[in-house]
Amino acid sequence: MPPSARADSGVVSDQRTPAPPSSRTPEFRGQVALLTATGVVGCAAAVAAWFGASSVARWTVIVFAAVIALRLGVRIVRDLLRGHTGIDILALTAIVATLAVGEYAAAMVIVIMLTGGEALDEYASHRAKRELTALMTRAPRVAHRTVSSNSAENAGQSEKADRVESPGGCESPGGCESSDDGDSTRGSAIVDIPVDTVQPGDVLLVRPSEIVPVDGVLRSESASFDESSLTGESLPVERVTGEPVMSGAVNGTAAILMTATSTAATSQYSQIVDLVREATEGRSPLVRLADRYALPFTVVSYAIAAVAWIVSGDAVRFAAVLVVATPCPLLLAAPVAFLGGMSRAAKHGIIVKNGTALELAAHVRTVAFDKTGTLTDGRPILLRVVTATGNDATGDEVLAAAAAAEQHSSHVLAASVTQAAVDRDLPLADVADAEEWATHGVRATVGRHEVVVGKPAFVAETTGAVEELDLSGGELAVYVGIDGRYAGALLLADPPRPDAAQVVGRLRALGIEHVMMLTGDAEPTAQAIARQVGVTDVRPECLPVDKVTAVRTERARPIMMVGDGVNDAPVLAAADIGVAMGARGTTAAAQSALAVLLKDRLGLVADLVAIGRRTVAIALQSIWIGIGLSIVLMGVAAFGHLPPLFGALSQEAVDLAAIGNALRALTNARPNARVDTHRSAPPGSDAIAPTEQFTAP
């Protein structure tokens, strides 16, 4: 059966290519192979010693440990040539020292510890990246395009053509008819094509439970989608004819038709996948800080080992100290914690591109917001209708006339006017003709009436004098004339998001006292919104270069900038950490930012700060757990109370404790945790926002 199975067969074609290969990396497979070889050699040496072949056991361990030491030495030299001062030299010295004093079992345990720790690091990294890579592994590869039956046959593709399934699931030899606007797909067939070949304007079929391949507009009467993997919304999202459909969403229980508005490469899902790919790259300064601990930790370890040897005259103590000084916690804990924090953020709908962004979020001291689309919803709403003095038309009649005239306009306010009429269930009369004058307004024949909508001067050309409204900050007026007479005005405003004031309060509770607004709007509008959300530092009438200057000259750093538009891209890149409102924001903004919010929810900004602080706290805590326990064990070994073999086993327990603690960054913070409101959470704290309770999506 061809990839596109016959509809009447009851078999739904597989939209994706065969299951992708194992997500385990070659590095992980190599570490597992090395760990397996280490286990085999260790068992062989133990069996040989058990049966009295001690020389065989000894030489088996010596040869294998020497190979591992040589491999480690090559890596150390390579790192030194790159300018990296690592702490693997302690492990190398410990292997050589234990072999030199005849502690072959301890040498073998150290080798097992190193290979096991590296394999555990790869495993923990893989676990921490699962949520980040989930989007990449489920990307659709195939789309079902509708074509005429004749076109399919002429193209020699009739064997792949399927009958069109209607949104209601009907099937007929001739196909089904779309139920949206009368555009018929009767006599059409569907052809499976690579998703990369989809073009804007293509009519696509999406079967039940399939993934929407590209962005588009719904043609079917209604549909339900699961957008949880994109936005974190746990409930199904209902769409109706003409509403946008997001690529990557999972279709509900009925087949639907949609019109593509983008290619696969430019679709929102593809952009998210690109962001996820970026998120797996980069190295946090805190990880480099762990590397900087290497030199003092190495010096202290060698000093304790040397003193123990000199005072006791026993070289075994020298080896024992170096065995417990093997610094796996420093190597593993910080990267695992940061990957865990990035994964945790992804579960909340926040893509963090690298560990640097997460650490900067933890220490941010200033947050700057764009206004339109960030602190506000970006969609003006109708406040009220003001009818003209002495005019017989009611407010609903004025609104209905204006909405009918505006319904085909591309102006930013046209959609708001039309939506206001729809919300009031007002019928919109047919429009015989409409003419739009850019930046001025619209003239249209609505039913039997001549309607003009737009600026007061534009409307006055037809109606004579209009009654201009006295507007307060943030308000807009659209004036309406009907049949040559001034009929009234529509008062609109772009209000703050419902949670904007709460988010500003949460940021201040997290210790971020400086919150500013950078906007291109006039000062009255900017000040009106700022008063409502609680922002006192307002910078109005900013061009993109002015926003960049404001961010670069800010003294309270690090500074976080939150925006959504193309004009925000430069300032998002200039800030220490840029945060893009990716759910409705532009591609330019998302690409310029270090973090992207996949949900259209401003509260995620405070969530990002809380997750960053908790991640940094866990990373530092894990590092100090490893260092502290290692120093204690070194002291015990220096006094001769910890033989090399038991020291190696003890150090393995230290490694597991540090890594296990670092993996807590993957989990939810404990409920009702308190936050130090004046500084970042100290090492060991699980602090999050006072009102925050992270729960799995």
Instruction: Give me the active site residues, please.
Output: 370
Rg for the chain (alpha carbons), in Å?
Answer: 33
Per the rule left: phi > 0, alpha: psi between -120 and 50, beta: everything else, 248 is: left
Cis peptide before 558 (omega within 30 of 0): yes
Distances (CA, A) of 5 to 12, 49, 162, 231: 6, 64, 7, 31
Give yes or no for a contact between 259 and 203, defined as CB atoms under 8 angstroms apart: yes
CA distance 507 to 516: 12
Tokens of 5: 């199975």
* Cα atoms in the Cβ-side hemisphere of radius 13 Å centred on 654: 29
Mind giving me the DSSP string for 199-218?
-TT-EEEE-TTPBP-S-EEE
Nearest Cα neighbor of 29 from 118, 130, 133, 134 is 118
* Cα atoms in the Cβ-side hemisphere of radius 13 Å centred on 295: 6
Give yes or no for a contact between 128 and 666, defined as CB atoms under 8 angstroms apart: yes
List all residues 6 or more positions away from 419 whose beta carbon is below 8 Å from its beta carbon: none
List all residues 6 or more positions away from 667 whose beta carbon is below 8 Å from its beta carbon: 344
Q: What is the DSSP letter of 85?
A: -
Alpha helix ranges (H) inside 282-327? 285-292, 294-312, 315-324
Strands 237-240 and 222-226, by their bridges, are: antiparallel
- 299 burial (CB, 10 Å; 0-12 / 13-18 / 19+) is exposed
Strands 237-240 and 366-369, by their bridges, are: unpaired
Question: CA-CA-CA-CA torsion for 313, 317, 318, 322, nearest 10 degrees?
Answer: -170
The continuous run of DSSP H or E covering 259 comes out as strand 256-260
Tokens of 685: 């704290």
